[in-house]
Amino acid sequence: MTTATSTTPSTAIETVRLRSVSKVYGSAAGTVTALDAMTVSFLAGTFTAVMGPSGSGKSTLLHCAAGLDRPTGGEVTIDGTELGPLDETALTLLRRERIGFVFQSFNLVSALTAEQNVALPLRLAGIRPRDAEVRAALAEVGLAQRAGHRPGELSGGERQRVAIARALITRPAVLFADEPTGALDSAASREVLRLLRDLTDHRGQTVIMVTHDPVAASRADRVLLLADGRVVDEFTAGAPAGEDRSGGSGGGPGPAPAERGLSPELIAARMAVLEASC
Ligand SMILES: Nc1ncnc2c1ncn2[C@@H]1O[C@H](COP(=O)(O)OP(=O)(O)OP(=O)(O)O)[C@@H](O)[C@H]1O
Ligand SMILES: [Mg+2]
């Protein structure tokens, strides 16, 4: 197994960069190192899947990278802005403008319609949402006809697509998704993954997704495997498993997953090796 640290081509834009980021939780029972001096970059216009055993630090990585949580050490930079020096107000503003976050449990407001949910981040930012803009965001996730429906009137897959439209309405630099298909059946999962893939391929959106599912991960350009708060393996589309081609290929339309070489079987095999060694 290789220990991967990210080096990137000098021309590539690092939308998200973590330098030696640590997160240590302390309690009466002792301390837990959720992130252990992690250094990793995510290039603009790439789709990365983050995998690893339960408790390996995947959600902590996303929360620290997205400014939802403060690391105990190291440096996080989003779209050129270092998060550490920002006070809570500035961090909230940066999150609203530059970051989209999608959760396993959708986190929609049940009393609001799909279009009201999608418009919410703009309202919170004090921007009056334009109807056409909100409708276009819903159309982009294939839900133009469901704008007036509340979450309770939508399927799980449709709810997640509303959540993705809501995350994208501010045109964020990066979309984080923590197990976005974890609560969905396989047909709805496929639909959500197709959407995330299209966002990268056709809009140049940077996407970072945590998943336990090798099929979901196979849609990404790059897979990071975590264990004990560290990146312990990494492979990229087109590279055989274990061959470290950190940093991705820089975005734009890419070949189909099968041509890229990220097969679910290969990913599952690497996960099995990792879990056996944990
Ligand atoms: N608020 C907290 N207080 C104390 N320990 C925490 C806290 N949040 C997470 N941890 C610990 O940090 C480690 C990493 O947790 P994290 O939630 O990032 O794991 P994960 O890889 O997302 O796991 P899963 O696949 O189960 O979602 C775990 O040991 C967890 O118990
Ligand atoms: Mg988690």
For residue range 121-147, list pLDDT tens digits in order: 999 888 999 999 999 999 999 999 999
pLDDT tens digit string along 5-17?
444 455 689 999 9
Question: Which ligand sits closest to the CA of 103?
Answer: 2
| Domains in the chain, number | 1
The span from the CA of 211 to the CA of 52, in Å, is: 8
Q: Is the CB of 211 under 6 A from ligand 1?
A: no
What is the tally of helices (H) and strands (E) in the chain? 9, 10
How far away, in angstroms, is 163 Cα from ligand 2 center?
Answer: 18
Cα–Cα distance for residue pair 262/278, rounded to 1 Å: 23
**Domain contains 149:** no
Give dist(CA 66, CA 16) in Å, integer: 9
Category of 79 on φ-ψ map: left (φ > 0), alpha (ψ -120 to 50) or beta:
left
Which residue's CA is the nearest one to ligand 1's atom 2? Answer: 25
pLDDT for the residue 252: 42
Among 25, 31, 275, say which to mutate for ligand 1: greatest number of ligand atoms within 8 Å of CB. Answer: 25
Question: SS3 for 230?
Answer: strand
| 169 found inside a domain | no
Number of other CB atoms surrounding residue 35 within 10 Å: 27
Residue span of the structural domain in which 212 resides: 14-107+174-277
Structure confidence at residue 277 (pLDDT): 84
Answer whether residue 93 is part of any domain: yes
Tokens of 173: 């630099």
* Within a domain: 131: no
**CB of 45 shorter than 6 A to ligand 1:** no
Residue 256 amino acid letter: A
pLDDT of residue 227: 97
Spatial distance between the Cα atoms of 91 and 251, rounded to a whole number of angstroms: 27
* 41's tokens: 């970059």
Can you give the CATH number for the domain in which 227 is found?
A: 3.40.50.300
Residue closest to 136 by CA, chosen among 118, 149, 158: 118
Q: What pLDDT shows up at residue 12?
A: 81
Other beta carbons less than 10 A from residue 277's beta carbon: 9
For ligand 1, is residue 23 a contact (CB within 6 Å)? no
Retrieve residue 140's tokens.
Answer: 């982009």
Tell me which residue has tokens 């279009």.
Answer: 115
Burial class (CB in 10 A: 0-12, 13-18, 19+), 171: exposed
Q: Which of 60, 62, 208 for a ligand 1 pocket mutation test, highest count of atoms within 8 Å of Cβ? A: 60
Ligand 2 center from residue 177 Cα (angstroms): 11
Residue 161 lies in a domain: no
**Which residue CA neighbors atom 4 of ligand 1 most closely?**
25
Whether 52 is in the pocket of ligand 1, judged by its Cβ within 6 Å, is: yes
Among the listed residues 4, 5, 8, 2, the one whose alpha carbon sits nearest the alpha carbon of residue 247: 8
In angstroms, rounded to a whole number, what is the distance separating the alpha carbons of residues 229 and 58? 8
Within a domain: 159 = no
| pLDDT, tens digit only, all 278 positions of the chain | 444 444 445 568 999 999 999 999 987 789 999 999 999 999 999 999 999 999 999 999 999 999 999 999 999 999 999 999 999 999 999 999 999 999 999 999 999 999 999 999 999 888 999 999 999 999 999 999 999 999 999 999 999 999 999 999 999 999 999 999 999 999 999 999 999 999 999 999 999 999 999 999 999 999 999 999 999 999 888 755 444 444 433 344 444 444 555 899 999 999 999 888 87
**CA dist., res. 41 & res. 143, Å (int):** 33
